[in-house]
Every structure is written in structure tokens, then in C-alpha cells.
Amino acid sequence: MPGLHSMSLGSMTCTRCGESFEPQEKIVNSNGQLWHTQCFVCAQCFRAFPDDIFYEFEGRKYCEHDFQVLFAPCCGKCNEFIIGRVIKAMNSNWHPKCFTCELCCKELADLGFIRNAGRALCHECNARVKAESQGKYMCHKCHSTIDGQPLRWRGDTFHPYHFNCASCGNELTADAREVKSRPGYTANDMNELYCLRCHDKMGIPICGACRRPIEERVVTALGKHWHVEHFVCAKCEKPFMGNRHYERKGLAYCETHYHELFGNLCFVCNAVIYGDVVMALNKAWCIHHFACALCDTKMTQKTKFFEFDQKPICKKCYERFPQELKKRLKKQHEVQARGGKPLP
């Protein structure tokens, strides 16, 4: 910070104008250089420095505004002038706090970065992106690509060889099992990893869908054990959640889709038909829903009916049809009876 002094300097001269100082004149002393107060101004705008703050570049002094305009770089993110530490990267200048990973937003000034597809990424995010592009996983511990099957633990993926069985100490494989605290086990067993052999000794069931241990409620069906949320209909994939299921050829189906695929649904109400079923016109009907499409008279499978627009019509309604319509329907029926062949 420059200082103002009252002194008699005799032969001393002003650094800017080269003129001597008057006796008892106030002068400015900045880093050993002397100035008239009117000469100690910005080299660009020639105004006094606000609050006596100035910036020096190549021996010339500038006010803060002119120094920023002339020399200070502009941040590539916030577009503000950078005073102090400047990060030069990605063909631009940055404030340290503005130069961050484009995926996780970590500051990269001291971490280092990798350029990936025009983006600045931290090493961890770059490894993950690289692994995903190769259809592989990234190890959450060493941040390198996993060749082969990963070991999944606490929601992340790892190289299996980073871990050892909590019981026998052997190096683990991707088939390792995570065990949470259970009755009969100590707190030290919580969230530990075990090899298959040691895990099987614990008698913990494995889900037939996700192949992970089942720590809470178990569903036993189709000769396997399941997490409640993983035992689902093979057609709609909705969990049964304790509701009845139907089994066929090693698969489980909800009631609706089992009967839709292998059973009978009423043509009228679309509900599962239990007990007796009326089969007519290549459709299935509930007994109380098989009725004339015109007068709604209830019919049975033994009731004589006629087909009209692929629906059953009772004899009374059929008799009311115009004679020409009945002839056309009769002819159509005869064609269908011949297997679709036209009459000779």
C-alpha cells in the first residue's frame, strides 16, 4: 500500500514526470519509488486509485477495473474476471472453484482431470464412463474396468479379489454373499462377505431371481426361495405379494394371466370362469352371461341360437329378421360349414 509523506527531498524526482518535489510537499512512496500525488494514477485511465488499491504489470500500475479489462482472464464457467489463481485447461481459463467434473461436480484444480469427449472428468467418473462404453463395470475401489463378473456389495461393484471371506479368509469370487445381522450371529457379522461354501453352512436361502441372500420374509415356490418383491407373474411381472399364484411348466402366473393363457375368461365380463362354462362361437361364457345379444334372454348351451355378427341370437329374435337377411345368414353359415369354400 503506498504511503503519503511530508519530507524535504532536495534532488529527488517524481518517477512519472521526472520533476522535483517542492519543500514540505506531500509525496507518495510506493516500493521505494516516489511520486507526486497527482502523478500516482492509473496508467490506463489516469485516475487516482480507489482506496489506494492498484495492480502492477510490467512496471506500470493500473486500477482494478482497467487491470481486469486489459490483463485478467475471464472464467470459462461464470464469465467473471479471475484475480489470483488461474486454472488453464480445456482451452480456457477458470476459477479453481469453477473448474469441476461435469458428472460429479468435484473441483479438479488439485485432483487432476481427464478429457473425455470434450468434457473434463475426474479419474473416477472417466473410469466409469469408459467401462460403460465397453459394456463393463468399474471397480469402486481401484476405479479400473472389471473384466468378467463383478462382486456387488453395498450397491457398488468391485473386483472380487479385493475381498476375502469373513469366515475362512479365502479370496472371494463374484458369487460371494453379503450377510446382514441375523439372530444367532454377532454384530461383527453384519454386512460381511462370505464365500459360497461358508455361506451355505449358515443355511441362508438364496433368491431364485436375484441370486442374493434372503434376510427377511421368504417365499417358497417352484422349488426355489424368493424375495417377496421378486416372486412375480411370468406374464405381467407384478409381485404376487401373498396373493394366489398358478404354476405351469416351471413358471408362476397371476390368476388373470394364467386363465388368459391357459384357461377360460368370460367373453362378456372378462373374469375367470370357475365351474361350468358355455363354449359357443369359439368363445367362453359364464353361464349367467350367455344371453341373446338383442333381447338379453338367458340361454344355455342346449338352447338353439343363431349367429349374427359373431354374437348369439335367440330363435325369437332371429324369426323377426327380414327374410332376405335370414337367407344371407343361412348362406353364410353354409359357406362356413364347408370350411370357407364357396357354393358351387
- Grid cell locating 246: 398358478
Quick check: 56 and 28 in contact, CB under 8 A? Answer: no
Looking at residue 100, what is its pLDDT? 93
DSSP reduced 3-state for 263: coil
Residues 6+ apart with CB under 8 A from 65: 45
DSSP reduced 3-state for 19: coil
DSSP alpha helix (H) spans, 96-227 = 123-133, 196-201
Segment 71-93 mean pLDDT:
84
d(CA 32, CA 21): 15
Indicate whether 203 pLDDT > 80.
no
Q: Give the model's confidence band at 4: pLDDT under 50 very low, under 70 low, under 90 confident, else very high.
A: very low
Looking at residue 226, what is its pLDDT? 92
pLDDT-above-90 percentage for the chain: 11
Residue range 94-148, pLDDT digits in tens: 999 999 999 999 999 888 898 888 889 998 888 888 887 777 888 888 888 888 8
Quick check: 140 and 160 in contact, CB under 8 A? Answer: no
Which carries the bigger pLDDT value, residue 312 or residue 204?
312
DSSP reduced 3-state for 151: strand
CA 248 centroid distance within chain: 35
Residue range 310-335, pLDDT digits in tens: 889 898 898 888 888 888 888 877 77
Q: Give the model's confidence band at 280: pLDDT under 50 very low, under 70 low, under 90 confident, else very high.
A: confident
DSSP reduced 3-state for 257: helix
Looking at residue 236, what is its pLDDT? 93
> Cell match 488439485: residue?
110
Indicate whether 252 pLDDT > 50.
yes
Q: Give the model's confidence band at 190: pLDDT under 50 very low, under 70 low, under 90 confident, else very high.
A: low
Cβ neighbours, 10 Å, residue 98: 18
Looking at residue 231, what is its pLDDT? 94
Task: Read off the amino acid at residue 101.
Answer: C
DSSP 300-344: -TTS-EEEETTEEEEHHHHHTS-HHHHHHHHHHHHHHHTTSPPP-
d(CA 305, CA 291): 10
